[in-house]
Amino acid sequence: MELNIDKGRRKSFDIECVEVTDENLAAVATWCKGKVLEHEGTKYVDVSASDKNAMNSRQTKGFAGDFIVRHVELNTFKSFSQKAFDKAYEITETRKVNKSSVDGKFVSDEIAEADPEHVVAQTVPVNELTETEKEADKNAALGVDPKLLGDPLDPFQLPRDADPS
């Protein structure tokens, strides 16, 4: 029997992170639901309450120069030294997009500013396109005039200038 061996790669996961400084200790502690504590005259952020599975006690203490990392799916926090952080993670560039809280569609900054109660701001990686942007790119590649299109997320909507008969 011939054995077919496949190659693979461990799936990554999304994080949020912040570098701890002497100036932001309290704000970081609030963000990660931790506490500012002091050991031998040095203040640090204690994140032990938010992660019971830390590999060692050092991962529960964020000193100035360390990074506090939030695992987005698990909503757990750990501390990493600069060196450990650089080995394990990379910071991705993000951009803000606005989504309607009524229908979930993406809206422009102008609409978001005019109706902030019904818009949720989200961050997405710079290289990740929204469905609206993907549709606009596809139409541009096909040479379709965007002024003739209706809502790109509604495939049943007729173009604005179309004859409904």
What is the C-alpha to C-alpha distance for residues 162 and 165, in angstroms, rounded to an integer?
9
- The β-bridge partners of 96 are 123
What is the C-alpha to C-alpha distance for residues 117 and 114, in angstroms, rounded to an integer?
9
| The model's pTM | 0.56
pLDDT digits (tens, 9 = 90+) for 121-155: 777 666 666 666 667 667 666 766 655 555 544 54
> Domain ranges in the chain?
15-88, 92-127, 129-160
Q: What is the DSSP string of 70-93?
A: EETTTTEEEEE-HHHHHHH--PPP
The pLDDT confidence band at residue 13, using thresholds 50, 70 and 90, is: confident
